[in-house]
Structure 1
Amino acid sequence: MAGIGELPVPGNAYTPVHNPVVVVGPQFVAPYPIDLVLSKKLFKLGEGHFDITDVNGTQIFTLRNKFFSIRDRRTLLDACGSPLLTLQQKILTAHRRWQVYRGESTNPKDLIFSAKKSSLIQFKTELNVFLAQNSSESAYDFKVKGSWLERSCTVHIGNSNTVIGQMHKKHSIQSIVFDKDTFAITAYPHVDYAFIVALVIILYEINEDRNGED
């Protein structure tokens, strides 16, 4: 049975994970690859939000900006408009750390994961991702690697070659025309696609930040 934006998988294009990757919730895990399109919508003030749809244009998530916030804050809404995640940049940190909480909370007890640049100076942005229970952060749980200029990145489990998701510039459906603020996202089989979407959003926010001082 077809799922959200399910496309044919050629050969062994996706290496199956040994165990399902569940970070946000099991309802966002499917036994087939999930293909989504993330596109930015502008408001009159120059701010905006992101729509996340399947390849048929059905709304899956919406990313809402928090206007006039002291620190950068975004809210990811589910298809019904209910707050699913709050993404907030931690101030006064050297590596541009973003923290992701459940619902509209920013209480430490509701922290799900955090992501930060792996080093201060990078030619290609890499993110180290830590689950909330990994308080020591002696090793990262996931890694985002890629080239933002090429609009391409992959998400890996820890320090391994196991890829669980990707952002890519081109899509197999030829009718979709991509611009610089539209991205194709694929979550691999048995991988939490809400988690992959949140990582791509953080990568976008870090690379769009023109400050460049932290």
Structure 2
Amino acid sequence: MLLEIPFALFDTRGESTEEKDLMFTVKRSSMIQLKTKLHVFLATNPKENVCDFKVEGSWLERSCIIYSGESNTILAQMHKKHNVESVFLGKDKFMVTVYPNVVYAFVVALIAILDGINHDYDE
């Protein structure tokens, strides 16, 4: 069974749940995973035979990599920044590297979804 999370393009009030506004769908590659693996399907890919993007991450390590489809082409990466503040004060900071020609908002949305999935399992 796959976890499916639709992500819609919201109207100006942020309330659209219409199928026509769907931008992409995110599915876990399996329900039991040591490292999180998500498959992302754009709305223009309704058959979902091959994912358009892949997210692999370790929430314990606070890191993830976003790939183009089933390739090894990296589009963005996130990792926890280790510094004095994070170690002694418990304030986590993250570094996100977004490669050229990649939409920042899309990367942030995927990271937010990954965070939401992992917080659901923490509770």
Normalising to structure 2: TM-score of the pair?
0.84
Contact 1:125 1:146 in 2 (8 A): yes
Q: Which amino acid aligns with 1:137?
A: E
Percent of paired sites with the same residue: 51
State how far apart, in whole Å, the 1-side matches of 2:8 and 2:92 are: 25
- 1:113 corresponds, among 24, 36, 50, to 24
Residue 36 of structure 2: SS of its match in structure 1? coil
1:1-214 pair list within 5 angstroms: 94-103=1-10, 104=14, 105-170=16-81, 177=86, 179=90, 182-210=93-121
Structure 1 residues 205 and 181, CA, compared in 2 at 3 Å: closer, same or farther? farther
Corresponding letter in the other structure for 1:119? S
CA RMSD of aligned residues (A): 2.3
Describe the SS at the equivalent of 1:209. helix
C-alpha displacement of 1:175? 8.3
1:35-83 superposed Cα distances (whole Å, 9 cap, x missing partner):
xxxxxxxxxxxxxxxxxxxxxxxxxxxxxxxxxxxxxxxxxxxxxxxxx
Q: What SS does structure 2 have at the residue aligned with 1:210?
A: helix
Matched AA of 1:99: P
- Bigger radius of gyration among the two: 1
What is the CA distance between 1:170 and its match in structure 2? 1.6
1:124-158 alpha-carbon deviations (Å, 9 max, x no partner): 00000000011000110000012111011100001
2: CA distance between counterparts of 1:115 and 1:107?
17
The structure showing larger relative contact order (alpha-carbon pairs under 8 Å, at least 6 residues apart) is 1
Q: Which runs of 5+ in 1 are unaligned?
A: 1-93
CA distance in 2 between partners of 1:130 and 1:99 (Å): 10
Question: What is the distance in 1 between the residues matched to 2:65 and 2:27?
Answer: 15
Alpha-carbon distance change, 190 to 175 in structure 1, aligned in 2, over 3 angstroms:
farther
Give the partner amino acid of 1:198: A
Count residues in correspondence.
117
Q: Which moved more, 1:177-186 or 1:147-156?
A: 177-186
Residue ranges of structure 2 left out of the alignment (5+ in a row): none
Q: Secondary structure at the match of 1:144?
A: strand
